[in-house]
Amino acid sequence: MSDKGSPIGVFDSGIGGLTVVREIMRQLPDEKIVYFGDTARVPYGNKSQETVTRYSEQIVRFLEANQVKAIVVACNTASAVALAELERKSDIPMIGVVKPGAKVAADTTRNGKIGIIGTEVTVSSGIYSRYITKLNNKATVIGKACPLFVPLVEEGLLHDEVTDEIARRYLSELIATGIDTLILGCTHYPLIRSTVGKIMGKDVTLVNPAYETAMELKELLGRNQLLNITNSAAPAVDVASDRTADRYKGETLHANEMALEEDRYRFYVSDGAEKFKKFAASIIKYGFLSAKIVNIEEY
Amino acid sequence: MSDKGSPIGVFDSGIGGLTVVREIMRQLPDEKIVYFGDTARVPYGNKSQETVTRYSEQIVRFLEANQVKAIVVACNTASAVALAELERKSDIPMIGVVKPGAKVAADTTRNGKIGIIGTEVTVSSGIYSRYITKLNNKATVIGKACPLFVPLVEEGLLHDEVTDEIARRYLSELIATGIDTLILGCTHYPLIRSTVGKIMGKDVTLVNPAYETAMELKELLGRNQLLNITNSAAPAVDVASDRTADRYKGETLHANEMALEEDRYRFYVSDGAEKFKKFAASIIKYGFLSAKIVNIEEY
């Protein structure tokens, strides 16, 4: 049985979901987190709905075995095509990143033209458009898949002319439509938001769904009497939250190590724990950020 | 029980192994082929040895269930780190692509300086170097991992300035070493050999292990009395074989459809059969190139 002291489960196809984890650390500093990154089977963004759903179900079973009190699907692709099925099969309260991101975008736009960039699966699912037009039936949503962004980020080319060139190609048609708001619809993309921001120009607001996801998680826990507010620990991290991404700073996050108990954050991956450690350090500066390997196919 | 009429099993992490399949079609036109591409879990090149081995074992069990008479590991990464374990656990004759590629390179070099490009796992395994120095103890082998080549190829950027720029970065240190021979140590790379060839210059010979792999397969089948030479079918394909890659043409292959029986070549993937079909057509021009989806985790 889970209670207020139980951890929150967070998962992603790989390491991008750590951009959501750091936002939960900021906004819910008393909560424990169990993170799973499916690094053996990354990327999800070009796989079929059936495969993404099957993989996600295995991860949910792993998180259930870790007695989590709630689950955050910190992967846009899985949120887009698998969340409904996951919710149907589990009793654990669950949220994805798509609905919160859609809400911020609908609130933010002034001219009603919203762009969404993400993986092939996320963009072709049309799910952001469905959520946004429910909130604002005058909004127009234009999607663009950017399949090379994830490998470029994973290669560490965060500030590089090649990434600039690929981004210019992907984004040019979005610029032409006159959008004033752009959703970073993949958890890897906040890591190249300075590149995206530079190309889109200062009149386009970038939306990082991570902030609103952590907000919505807080509400969900409150509604289910699962919010952990017994401690009064300092925030685990020392960087202010950013609802709409500040594109020129804050791409990494420094943990306040003093405030961290040894066991508060646990990280699991399906492959390459050493590589995870290295990459994770570029997202969250954290003294003892290491991951254990899980054979996820057994779940 | 398998006999001469049984098919040859060929597998890869994805679709790159089709560059080996087309070479087998050329050299062994009477043979049937069962191909498996692990498109759900591609790429293998940045996964751990344990994971690559576990995935490869599942595929071998799938091919065994299809009564293949021999198995070609048409993936450099799996050949580099999993082949020995696969051979230990199966009675089916098996070859990889590394040993044949090493042999061509050792035969080809004049100055004894050989480069090898591949995935992180293949290059860091050092396996090409071990095979080559066994054949030519004066040879020097210089490896360079090129992790962005696979996503660039899968995005279809075969002739593109971005691919040129990334290739220039990866290859510059190899050029500086004065190699005269370069092994395309990943089955995706023959698809960008014109780019690689242009950058390396005309004095560097590119080696595509696929040709020698098909040669070695023929020997292996002969040695085991498994070679199918009962028919006298025309070669299934109308493009000449190329032991050292002709870098300016022949990047796709046209099947002689008249010579093909309906069931001679069977293709299976773990995800995205439609996408496979589209991509496969850029490697092998073939009237009815379609794939069935297999849930490989059940094997």
Q: Is residue B2 part of a domain?
A: no
Q: Is residue A157 part of a domain?
A: yes
Contact criterion met (CB below 8 Å) for A19 and A190:
yes
Query: Sorting pLDDT into bands at 50, 70 and 90, what band is A166?
Result: very high
Q: Are B125 and B196 in a shared domain? A: yes
Q: Are A136 and A269 in a shared domain? A: no
Chain B CA closest to residue A52: B40
Interatomic CA distance for residues B219 and A86, integer angstroms:
51
Q: Are B50 and B112 in a shared domain? A: no
Q: Are A203 and A215 in a shared domain? A: no
Q: Is residue B157 part of a domain?
A: yes
- Judged by CB atoms closer than 8 Å, whether chains meet at A46 and B272 is answered as yes
Q: Is residue A3 part of a domain?
A: no
Give the mean pLDDT of B135-145: 96
Give the mean pLDDT of A138-155: 94
Residues of B in contact with A54 (CB under 8 A): 295
Tens of pLDDT along A199-210? 999 999 999 999
3-class DSSP string for chain A: CCCCCCCEEEEECCCCCHHHHHHHHHHCCCCCEEEEECCCCCCCCCCCHHHHHHHHHHHHHHHHHCCCCEEEECCHHHHHHCHHHHHHHCCCCEEECHHHHHHHHHHHCCCCEEEEEECHHHHHHCHHHHHHHHHCCCCEEEEEECCCHHHHHHCCCCCCHHHHHHHHHHHHHHHHCCCCEEEECCCCHHHHHHHHHHHHCCCCEEECHHHHHHHHHHHHHHHCCCCCCCCCCCCCECCCCCCECCCCCCCCEEECHHHCCCCCEEEEECCCHHHHHHHHHHHEECCCCCEEECCHHHC
Minimal CA separation from B247 to chain A, in Å = 25
Q: Is residue A2 part of a domain?
A: no
The β-bridge relationship of strands B140-145 and B181-184 is unpaired
Residues of B in contact with A297 (CB under 8 A): 297
Q: Are B118 and B175 in a shared domain? A: yes
The pTM (predicted TM-score) of the whole model is: 0.86
Residues of A in contact with B272 (CB under 8 A): 46-48
Nearest by CB to residue A47, choosing from B51, B272, B297, is B272
User: For position B178, which CATH number holds?
Assistant: 3.40.50.1860
Give the mean pLDDT of B269-285: 83
Q: Is the pLDDT of residue A244 over 70?
A: no
In B, what residues contact A, Cβ < 8 A? Answer: 40-41, 46-48, 51, 54, 147-148, 151-152, 155, 161-162, 165-166, 270-272, 275, 295, 297
**Which residues 6+ apart lie within 8 Å of A221 measured at CB?**
A8, A28, A31, A69, A70, A93, A227, A228
Residues of B in contact with A15 (CB under 8 A): none
- Judged by CB atoms closer than 8 Å, whether chains meet at A147 and B155 is answered as yes
- Judged by CB atoms closer than 8 Å, whether chains meet at A155 and B165 is answered as no
Give the mean pLDDT of A156-169: 95
Give the mean pLDDT of B201-210: 96
Q: Which residues are B265's β-sheet partners?
A: B33
**Which residues 6+ apart lie within 8 Å of A217 measured at CB?**
A8, A24, A28, A70, A72, A95
Residues of A in contact with B48 (CB under 8 A): 271-272, 293
Q: Is the pLDDT of residue A256 over 70?
A: no
Residues of B in contact with A121 (CB under 8 A): none
Per the prediction, chain A carries an average pLDDT of 89
In A, what residues contact B, Cβ < 8 A? Answer: 40-41, 46-48, 51, 54, 147-148, 151-152, 154-155, 161-162, 165-166, 270-272, 275, 293, 295, 297
Higher pLDDT, B241 or B31: B31
Nearest residue to B144 (alpha-carbon basis) of B162, B164, B122? B122
- Judged by CB atoms closer than 8 Å, whether chains meet at B272 and A161 is answered as no
Q: Are A57 and A133 in a shared domain? A: no
Residue A36's pLDDT is what?
Answer: 97
**Does the annotation count B186 as an active-site position?**
yes
Lowest-pLDDT range, A41-55, A125-139, A219-233? A219-233
Token digits for B286?
């073939």
Q: Are A205 and A216 in a shared domain? A: no
Contact criterion met (CB below 8 Å) for B195 and B159:
yes
**Which residues 6+ apart lie within 8 Å of A198 measured at CB?**
A164, A247
Q: Are B77 and B132 in a shared domain? A: no
Minimal CA separation from B194 to chain A, in Å = 20
Q: Is the pLDDT of residue B140 over 90?
A: yes
Q: Percentage of chain B with pLDDT > 70?
A: 87
Token digits for A66?
């870790």
Domain end marker among A209, A235, A256: A209
Residue A254's pLDDT is what?
Answer: 52
Q: Is residue B195 part of a domain?
A: yes
Residues of B in contact with A147 (CB under 8 A): 151, 155
* Inter-CA distances, A246 with A157, A178, A204, A250, A297, Å: 19, 21, 12, 7, 38
Minimal CA separation from B151 to chain A, in Å = 7
Give the mean pLDDT of B256-267: 66
Tens of pLDDT along B91-125? 999 999 999 999 999 999 999 999 999 999 999 99
Nearest by CB to residue A162, choosing from B48, B165, B272, is B165
Residue A250's pLDDT is what?
Answer: 40
Q: Is the pLDDT of residue B248 over 80?
A: no
Length reported for chain A: 299
Q: Are B125 and B145 in a shared domain? A: yes
Domain end marker among A191, A209, A227: A209
Q: Is residue A1 part of a domain?
A: no
Q: Is residue A117 part of a domain?
A: yes
Residue A13's pLDDT is what?
Answer: 94
Nearest by CB to residue B48, choosing from A47, A155, A271, is A271
Give the mean pLDDT of A25-42: 94
Q: Are B80 and B136 in a shared domain? A: no
Residue A279's pLDDT is what?
Answer: 79
Give the mean pLDDT of B181-205: 96
Residues of A labelled as active-site residues? 75, 186
> Count of A–B CB contacts within 8 Å?
47
Residue A287's pLDDT is what?
Answer: 59
Give the mean pLDDT of B211-221: 95
Minimal CA separation from A10 to chain B, in Å = 21
Q: Which of B33, B123, B174, B186 is catalytic?
A: B186
Domain extent, residue A197, equals 99-209
Residue A247's pLDDT is what?
Answer: 39
* Number of domains forming the structure of chain A: 2
Q: Are A87 and A215 in a shared domain? A: yes
- Judged by CB atoms closer than 8 Å, whether chains meet at A48 and B166 is answered as no
Domain end marker among A180, A209, A238: A209
Per the prediction, chain B carries an average pLDDT of 89
Q: Are B103 and B201 in a shared domain? A: yes
Query: Sorting pLDDT into bands at 50, 70 and 90, what band is A155?
Result: confident
Residue B259's pLDDT is what?
Answer: 46
